[in-house]
Amino acid sequence: MMKTRCTGQRRNICLFALVFAIASVAFLLVVGHFDINSEVRTNHFAVADAIIHGILPDVEYPPFALVFLTVPRFFADTPGGYEVAFVAQTYVFFIIGLVLAGKFAKRFNYSQYFAMLAYTVMMLLMLEFVLDRYDIFPMVLTMLSLYCFMTKRYAWAWLILSVATMTKLYPAVLVPVYLMIYLVDKEWKGALKGVAIYVITALLIALPIFLLGSDMIQYFFGYHMDRPIQLESTASSFISFAAILGLTKVWAEFGASQSDNLLGAWPDAVEPFLTPLMVTSLLILYVFGGYLLLKLKKSGRYNENSKMIALGMISFAAVTLFVIVGKVFSAQYMIWIVPFVLFLLILPIDHILKRRMLIIFIAAEVLTQLNFAVNVGIYEGEFNDIGMLIVLARNLLMIALLILVANGVRRQLLGDPVDSTDQ
């Protein structure tokens, strides 16, 4: 009788998949035993059940998110059963991300074991947000798009990036980053083809929504443009610190946006400027990224490795800016940044920089969990000094991480030549 077993690289996949499976089962047992009213059981199940019964609800998600929310409903018709099916679906995507982590590492002669270990640890630290939100789906799709771009499967990279954007909006910030590489390489036709694939894919995904006469897309944009400053956002943490010092008065309130928001004179005054500030910050980043690539090319240091390092740094900075400058910085947004931290970790850049980057990001994840325990668990969304100081510390760490990566990578690219091997 033939026996199959995990050997070599498969052993690594089996090991980390088993660890995450045990954690997932433990999560389900805890939620079931204590009858915890989770996001999946309440919000996601309600949306999926409505769709199964022919109703297209107005939700704050882009259209393709409905696919991931609806699929588990085909396997279960109760909230508890739906949650088990949903966790099984997230587990499949975790495995896809795990395999991609190994492939990224192999491409740059980095330890595949350590890459998978880092990926697993970063995901386990956000376990309940991985299993009880749907952010792992656009995250893994974005990761897959990056891998396709890195391996020159450009058509697939653009198509998958479009699907990721129609699942969660944030991957759209990578469009100018991809274009930057094309334009520096003077690949005009490739740039046009890539944008065409991206736009056509998005239109095809949105088409059924329009044909059904739903206002879902209009509702989605209105929802995000009109929502106030969320309690965990960077702006909220700074304003809250001012309130702790007695400089202003603020309070928290659970609003129609289904989030805990910060209200008061200062939050109301700042809120209209945050989205324009985020857009301006991203534009500055894209200009800087283009300048960096052009300077690399003129210096004769523009090769495949330096291109990938620039891609990793600018992509990381774009997503991180989108998170820390915006009106919302929900705990699950940390999941979005995992692939970019992992990508930078395996690239041939300074070892000390990578170690500091990983320590800061893991510390930020730990503070995110502490924030959730204090602000949601203990104080149930009410404004409190201890909770807001934790949020401020997390946000300051993310700002420090952004500065560390941008400055460290810039100095390496424009300073010492980039090696083809890890340092």
Q: Domain map of the chain by residue range?
A: 227-423
- Cα 195–Cα 321–Cα 258 angle in degrees, nearest 5: 95
Alpha carbon distance 408, 400 (integer Å)? 12
Contact 142, 161 (CB under 8 A): yes
Which residue carries 């653009």 as its tokens? 158
Q: Are 178 and 165 in contact (CB under 8 A)?
A: no
DSSP 417: P
The one-digit pLDDT tens for each residue of the chain (423 residues) are 344 455 578 899 999 999 999 999 999 999 988 888 889 998 999 999 999 998 888 788 899 999 999 999 999 999 999 999 999 999 999 999 999 999 999 999 999 999 999 999 999 999 999 999 999 999 999 999 999 999 999 999 999 999 999 999 999 999 999 999 999 988 999 999 999 999 999 999 998 887 776 666 665 566 656 778 999 999 999 999 999 999 999 988 876 556 788 999 999 999 999 999 999 999 999 999 999 899 888 888 888 888 899 999 999 999 999 999 999 999 999 999 999 999 999 998 889 999 999 999 999 999 999 998 888 778 776 778 999 999 999 999 999 999 999 998 888 887 754 444 443
Q: Which of 233, 242, 239, 283 is nearest to 260 (CA)?
A: 233
| DSSP assigned state of 41 | I
* Contacting residues for 346 by C-beta, under 8 A, at least 6 apart: 104, 105, 107, 108, 110, 115, 422
The b-or-e profile of 208-243 (16+ CB within 10 A means b, else e) is: ebeeeeeebeeebeebeeebbbbbbbbbbbbbbeeb
DSSP string of 262-300, one letter each residue: EEEHHHHHHHHHHHHHHHHHHHHHHHHHHHHHHHHHHHT
**DSSP label of 418:** P
CB environment 266-291: b (16+ within 10 A), e (fewer) = bbeebbeebeeebeebbeebbeebbe
